[in-house]
Structure 1
């Protein structure tokens, strides 16, 4: 057998993922915050990209009708500052020459003050953190510098909840004995505000708060030592352990519920950003639903063609290649953002069409829906619909919902009719449990019977799974809790 080179022609198919195609896929699954951050980075990187400020400037432009009305009211009332304070020489719109010089020497850039120069945020105090609150109190509690040093080390080990972390490692880290750290810790627990900080578990946290209120008696200590029984609503065992009757136990439980299990979270510095809807659904005059993109969630960018032509006329070959690449990337980004907006609108419109009964009547009419169903109807791939609906929100007359909320599994109908949405079934289970009384608590089997009478074919283990997913206790625990609440009344 001889080996020699041979020319041949072969046809194959392969998927080539270009960098721009990969970035287009990423753009689909970006939420509003991530998209804004990405566009800002591209604008800094590409000199040919600029923001379209035309719409925002039109929105900020004052209405001439409102201006004229304000001038008419001002003339009628004659409420100018000169008339209100005729003898006050300091009421001027400009700064005096001496103050102007001082302003410029301090870094100012002009001698007039306008509304734009006033920034209330620069005068607002920074939020106090848990560490700030603790460090302010430690010098007042400890006079010895060595004790103060150890107390500050304990403060560094505080979690955001107010609990103490890694206490066993502190003796090695600080080079002191455990007994001395225990003494410092006990002093902090007894004197620091709010009570409950510097504790190592929930029982210790609640005990310190009760001691501060003068309510830590032996019965309450026994209750705190058996919080697991309280979590299981085993009130009969708790009454026996604490040596109290049903009324006293109900009062003790009410006192514990009034305590703060995480006292440090009151000083949490982090703030959750509001969710910006990508799509807004409003009722139309003809009784249908109008689906619109939220312009606040869509960054508007343009290609600066004039600047591109100006720079191209004065650049050499090497610069021309750079400008051509920037122009290509800028045009691609504008098209990609437009395609992303069209795709979101197309998917959202079909979701609204499929879930019209939900918008009209509520969650009980939510239909089971799959990503593939939407993909087949609008002619997209299922993975594309999955990326579009990820981290996107829809504002409807019934509230704000993530787009994935409308895709739920199907529960078969007991009478052979249309299937029921799993989310609608969960909502029905919650409604039935909320309507319970102390004398009529529904077991999982009773819930199954009620749902089957309503045409929902569901197994008992599925009911238990849905109930546990909603953090709803079992029927035994609910019965104990409702009887305890009834005894309190």
Structure 2
């Protein structure tokens, strides 16, 4: 077997060609593409403090209608084990309507590290001038997230949600949960006296409760929603979507050439490198902005159905396709979309969420994305009779009849990703029967 020669800095192929030399300037240009607007401002402030020829004006607060804000009710995927990232990842499956997004943001902002709400709905409704009924409606949707118990109002509510999911919620359990505070002060006998239940029944319920997780958010790190500064603005004009750079929230940067011109010959020699660096930084930032705008406009053009109709309008799209269409490298597209956000009329959108995989090829039926598959599965299981839930095989059959060419194992995978248990766990006992611990 012939060994392939390996040389540092060179690629061995039909012709020996030097690889691109990763200069400090190129390395910095790559770093600029990976910065969001907020990080870019911090970087430029640091450079302006070091370089006398850089003039920087950071965006002021309240100078435009396109403000930086925390916006958890957007289609962001999870990044790591953060509780907020985990919630945002599942938010897309909760069927939040456009008029409910603000309520969802309020409730996510009120989430504590335990996974419970820190404040009551009436208090939140009053503080944010939102109808309590709307918060109640959205809360029920958010409580469908996994792990079960997230967005509970208190400990009893957290345990109730988990018992209900197991099919173990019965009148005895309801009575114990309603009087749960007595347990801490008087023990199980006081709880039996308070509820009027036999002591053995109280202990049976308590045994069930001990199997549950009182703090479903405890398995995650807790990072409050971060401030998002959108690089791009999306507006509807003359029936079409238009994308522009959000200049009002981007740093205003320029080179002070007049200062360099005022220097004497000796000082000019000493400061020429700093002056050149200042010019390079300004040009590199402008190149970043042009690249961001091109990629953002291409994404909006391809995914206009998403902005018209919501997540159901997403079309299959890969980073490679965008890179080839724009004449850019796939790595450049990846760096930009992983850091840039777009301010749409009703939400802030992370560009990376506009890329979706196609599960079934168009030649084998209708094209189907991962999000659309989850929505199809949820729509099928929502109205199904609880005593006769649909199996993965039956779901697959129905989807194939609708023109989606998809395998049963794929349906099973995405059913689980949607947080929907298997058919056995979705079956409920006949009316009047109980699920006992250990059965």
Q: Shorter-chain TM-score: what band?
A: 0.5 to 0.7
Secondary structure class of the residue paired with 2:55: strand
Q: Which whole-Å CA distance do the structure 2 matches of 1:364 and 1:335 have between them? A: 39
Secondary structure class of the residue paired with 1:47: coil
Deviation at 1:368, TM superposition (A): 0.8
Of 395, 400, 405 in structure 1, the residue corresponding to residue 348 of structure 2 is 400
1:423 correspondence with 2:389: no
Contact 1:347 1:374 in 2 (8 A): yes
Seen in structure 2, the aligned counterparts of structure 1 residues 306 and 224 have a Cα distance that, compared at 3 Å, is farther
Secondary structure class of the residue paired with 2:335: helix
1:211 correspondence with 2:163: no
2:258 alignment partner in structure 1? 306
TM-score of the superposed pair, with normalisation by structure 1: 0.54
Deviation at 1:260, TM superposition (A): 6.5
1:30 alignment partner in structure 2? 35
Seen in structure 2, the aligned counterparts of structure 1 residues 229 and 448 have a Cα distance that, compared at 3 Å, is farther
2:400 alignment partner in structure 1? 452
Secondary structure class of the residue paired with 1:458: coil
1:256 alignment partner in structure 2? none
Pairing of 1:192-231 with structure 2 (within 5 A): 211-212=183-184, 216=188, 217=191, 219-226=201-208
2:89 alignment partner in structure 1? none
Of 51, 55, 66 in structure 2, the residue corresponding to residue 50 of structure 1 is 55
1:278 correspondence with 2:231: yes
Seen in structure 2, the aligned counterparts of structure 1 residues 341 and 483 have a Cα distance that, compared at 3 Å, is farther
The CA deviation string for residues 111-131 of structure 1, in whole angstroms up to 9 with x for no partner, is xxxxxxxxxxxxxxxxxxxxx
Of 368, 371, 380 in structure 2, the residue corresponding to residue 432 of structure 1 is 380
The CA deviation string for residues 199-257 of structure 1, in whole angstroms up to 9 with x for no partner, is xxx9xxx99856248684454543443458768xxxxxxxxxxxxxxxxxxxxxxxxxx
Say how many residue pairs are matched: 305
Secondary structure class of the residue paired with 1:436: coil
1:363 alignment partner in structure 2? 311
Seen in structure 2, the aligned counterparts of structure 1 residues 350 and 261 have a Cα distance that, compared at 3 Å, is closer
Seen in structure 2, the aligned counterparts of structure 1 residues 269 and 402 have a Cα distance that, compared at 3 Å, is closer
Deviation at 1:339, TM superposition (A): 0.7
Pairing of 1:215-254 with structure 2 (within 5 A): 216=188, 217=191, 219-226=201-208
Unaligned runs of 5+ residues in structure 1 are 1-9, 61-159, 163-193, 197-201, 232-258, 485-489
Contact 1:359 1:398 in 2 (8 A): no
Q: Which whole-Å CA distance do the structure 2 matches of 1:326 and 1:425 have between them? A: 55
Q: Which whole-Å CA distance do the structure 2 matches of 1:161 and 1:399 have between them? A: 27
Secondary structure class of the residue paired with 2:428: helix
The CA deviation string for residues 147-168 of structure 1, in whole angstroms up to 9 with x for no partner, is xxxxxxxxxxxxx759xxxxxx
Larger C-alpha radius of gyration, 1 or 2? 1
Contact 1:438 1:482 in 2 (8 A): no
Contact 1:369 1:408 in 2 (8 A): yes
RMSD: 4.1
Q: Which whole-Å CA distance do the structure 1 matches of 2:344 and 2:256 have between them? A: 37
Seen in structure 2, the aligned counterparts of structure 1 residues 457 and 261 have a Cα distance that, compared at 3 Å, is closer
Q: Which whole-Å CA distance do the structure 2 matches of 1:376 and 1:483 have between them? A: 59
Name which of structure 1's ranges 347-356 and 435-444 shifts more when overlaid on structure 2. Answer: 435-444
Deviation at 1:309, TM superposition (A): 2.7
Secondary structure class of the residue paired with 2:349: strand
Secondary structure class of the residue paired with 1:445: helix
The CA deviation string for residues 46-92 of structure 1, in whole angstroms up to 9 with x for no partner, is 12112247x869959xxxxxxxxxxxxxxxxxxxxxxxxxxxxxxxx
The structure richer in helix per residue is 1
1:324 alignment partner in structure 2? 272
Pairing of 1:116-135 with structure 2 (within 5 A): none
Secondary structure class of the residue paired with 1:292: strand
Contact 2:306 2:312 in 1 (8 A): yes
1:410 correspondence with 2:358: yes
The CA deviation string for residues 164-200 of structure 1, in whole angstroms up to 9 with x for no partner, is xxxxxxxxxxxxxxxxxxxxxxxxxxxxxx999xxxx
Secondary structure class of the residue paired with 1:225: helix
Secondary structure class of the residue paired with 1:456: coil
Deviation at 1:403, TM superposition (A): 1.3
